[in-house]
Chains A and B, each alone.
Chain A
Amino acid sequence: MSIQISNINKRFDNFVALDNINLTIPDGELVALLGPSGSGKTTLLRIIAGLEEADSGTIYFNGEDTTATHVRDRGVGFVFQHYALFRHMSVFENVAFGLRVRPKATRPSEEEINERVHKLLKLIQLDWIANRYPSQLSGGQRQRVALARALAVEPKVLLLDEPFGALDAKVRQELRQWLRSLHDEIHITSVFVTHDQEEALEVSDKIVVMNQGKIEQIGTPEEVYDRPTNPFVYSFLGNVNLFHARVEQGSLHLENTELNTPDLGSSKEASLFVRPHEIHISIDNALGGGIEAKLIGWRLVGPRVRVELETVHAHQKVEAEISKGEWQAIKAHENDTLFVHFSNARIYTNEASWNDYVI
């Protein structure tokens, strides 16, 4: 089932939660709504579900206007951040709930309910705890039960509100992959809200980056990560080094180096965004064009080394992420003046953005 969101607006008193949102989610896709808190992503999800009412605008499911349809008739499965399992019901009863509350005419028989619940519990690999209560489960198990409960009513759309936000790092990692493979199996149109860029990049078919009630960019994980349309998206999707530079007569001046940029025109402020892993450090500036910097500190982060530097001219902090091998070479060389190179940088001026510069 495709979802079409058309001109949705929502205010809470003076706070604009959603500012004229337009978005189409194709059938069978897994889409992430990614943004910082207060960006409106959860509000949008709740409006799609019918748990919240938009001030204006229309929601279409498969081209059909569902704006006025009550949440209980919308056929959405909703998964909450804090699971929202019925605490006084066993796992089995939680999953069976959606079937049991149906009117007599459409309610499945007791055997059918039994069969369907067990099938779902098998799907989430928790068939063995059907008789336990939510308080006896771990966070990861609870969220899987919540998902099974949402799927039990055979929703046309699955909506997940920060589904892994309350879990610890390792479980979150596991559940992410599990959700991805589950989606590959059942292909239900799914929208999940997250503030974790890594989660969005790893799980989704498409990412919708939101900020202050607006959509900043829509694209596949690769598009959004490699070709962010604006500085916000760039800095939100991962760590970033920001340099301010000036473009004069076709060349960009940054610290002690200069870059030939005829396309950028003249007399302009420019911002350079460089990700830590796009920075190389050389000892001797053999390639030329390196920015002079001093070593300030370093930290081992798993298999990589995070190095902190400060440029000599503008005293700007630079964060680089390099391999252990590279780091060994730098450490061996005791001189603390080093040279910073960018393997890739993205330049934004007021009018346009430019990619793929090597300094």
Chain B
Amino acid sequence: MQTEHRLEPRWLKPLLLGTTLLFLAIFLALPLGVVFSEALAKGWKVYWASITEPDAIAAIKLTLLVVLITVPLNTVFGVATAWLIAKFEFRGKGLLITLIDLPFAVSPVIAGLIFVLLFGSQGWFGAWLSEHDIRIVFATPGIILATLFITSPFVAREIIPLMQEQGKDEEESALTLGASGWQTFWKVTLPNIKWGLLYGVILSNARAMGEFGAVAVVSGHIRGMTTTMPLHVEILYGEYLFTAAFAVASLLTLLALVTLVLKSFIEWRIGKKRLLAH
């Protein structure tokens, strides 16, 4: 390090570091502390009661149901799309890649509104749906649809570059060696993308649990029926039940922390793989 040539003034690095740390302290560490201290302000008993009261349980159950349905669906959709884009040539590929990103570009509230306009009682399919007694908006299907839309890009985004980088040589090899398309997918394609895929699934899962805007529009806020955890937090907060609100919020925060840990672990794994490959 003695011979290192300095291109920047000496004070730049400490300054940047200081700014970053200060920013993180104000916008991350402080709120994190607040969430847990507020949640536990009235002791563990109240905390426990807040997260086990029937409406909270219902919100947690609904959130888990949404996650259990949307994450697997988006995983399948993501892998299929990524496979299509990475391994096949066709017209309009660029457009398709842009379309996959669309949910990122659209405001979640607009995304929610789209479903209300489509499936609401005044919507395009509203009359037909009520005729057949199918409820989508202000019910669980609407919440699932909105969450599906919002979280659909995560898996695909994560593995498209990975699959493109890997090319199709290994798949073609497997085929010439007599493997069927299915065998090729399970034995060659999937193992090659598994870490990227897991990363996408975790991000997708975190977003599915935490999604507020789109879900808020389609949910109808029926307590114990159509409120997910973020909506439940908002309702409690609106009713000045701060401790209860922060208690449920702390669960979501814990999820975020677990996600972060998993994410860094996977990044570390991918980094190691990359290193080995070169």
**Interface positions of A (Cβ within 8 A of B):** 49, 51, 71-74, 76-78, 80, 82, 84-88, 97-98, 101-102, 133, 135-136, 146, 149-150, 152-153
Contacts and interface: CB of A to CB of B under 8 A. Distances in A.
Given A86-B173, A149-B173, 13 more contacts: A72-B176, A80-B169, A80-B172, A87-B192, A88-B191, A97-B187, A98-B178, A101-B177, A101-B178, A101-B183, A136-B276, A146-B173, A152-B177
Give chain B's interface residue range (CB within 8 Å of chain A).
10 to 19
Contacts of A133: 276
B179 interface: yes
Contacts of B278: 135
A84 B170 CA distance: 5
B192 A88 contact: yes
Given A101-B178, A102-B178, A133-B276, A80 B173 contact: yes
A85 B191 CA distance: 13
Contacts of A98: 177-179
Given A87-B277, A101-B187, A82 B169 contact: yes
B277 A135 contact: yes
A63 to B, nearest CB: 22
A85 B277 CA distance: 12
A218 to B, nearest CB: 26
Contact of A86 (B175, B183, B188, B276): B188
B175 A51 contact: yes
A3 B256 CA distance: 61
Contacts of A101: 174, 177-180, 183, 187
B181 to A, nearest CB: 9
A101 B174 CA distance: 9
A134 B187 CA distance: 16
21 contacts: A71-B175, A72-B176, A73-B178, A74-B176, A77-B176, A78-B176, A80-B173, A82-B169, A86-B170, A86-B173, A86-B188, A101-B177, A101-B178, A101-B180, A135-B277, A135-B278, A136-B276, A146-B173, A150-B176, A150-B177, A153-B178
B174 A97 contact: yes
Contacts of A97: 174, 177, 179, 187
Contacts of B175: 51, 71-72
Interface string B98-111: 00000000000000
B159 to A, nearest CB: 15
A86 to B, nearest CB: 6
Contacts of B170: 84-87
B88 to A, nearest CB: 14
B176 A49 contact: yes
* Central interface residue in A72, A102, A150, by most chain B CB within 10 Å: A72
A84 B277 CA distance: 13
Interface of B: 169-170, 172-180, 183, 187-188, 191-192, 276-278
B177 A153 contact: yes
A102 B187 CA distance: 13
Nearest to B177: A98
B178 A72 contact: yes
B46 to A, nearest CB: 50
Sorted from nearest, which 10 A-B pairs have the closest CB atoms? A84-B169, A98-B177, A78-B176, A101-B179, A135-B276, A84-B173, A88-B191, A71-B175, A101-B183, A72-B178
Contacts of A152: 177
Given A88-B191, A135-B277, A51 B178 contact: no
B176 A51 contact: yes
A152 B177 CA distance: 9
Contacts of A74: 176
A71 B276 contact: no
Nearest to A101: B179
Given A86-B188, A88-B191, A135-B276, A72 B169 contact: no
A82 B187 CA distance: 20
Contacts of A84: 169-170, 172-173
* Central interface residue in A51, A88, A150, A153, by most chain B CB within 10 Å: A88
Contacts of B183: 101
A80 B176 CA distance: 11
* Central interface residue in A51, A73, A136, by most chain B CB within 10 Å: A51
B87 to A, nearest CB: 13
Contacts of A72: 175-180
A260 B175 CA distance: 61
A87 B169 CA distance: 11
Contacts of A49: 176
A71 B187 contact: no
Nearest to A102: B178
Contacts of B169: 80, 82, 84
A97 B191 CA distance: 14
A78 B173 contact: yes
* Central interface residue in B172, B176, B191, by most chain A CB within 10 Å: B176
B179 to A, nearest CB: 4
Nearest to A77: B176
Contact of A78 (B172, B192, B276, B277): B172
Nearest to B274: A135
Contacts of B172: 51, 71, 78, 80, 84
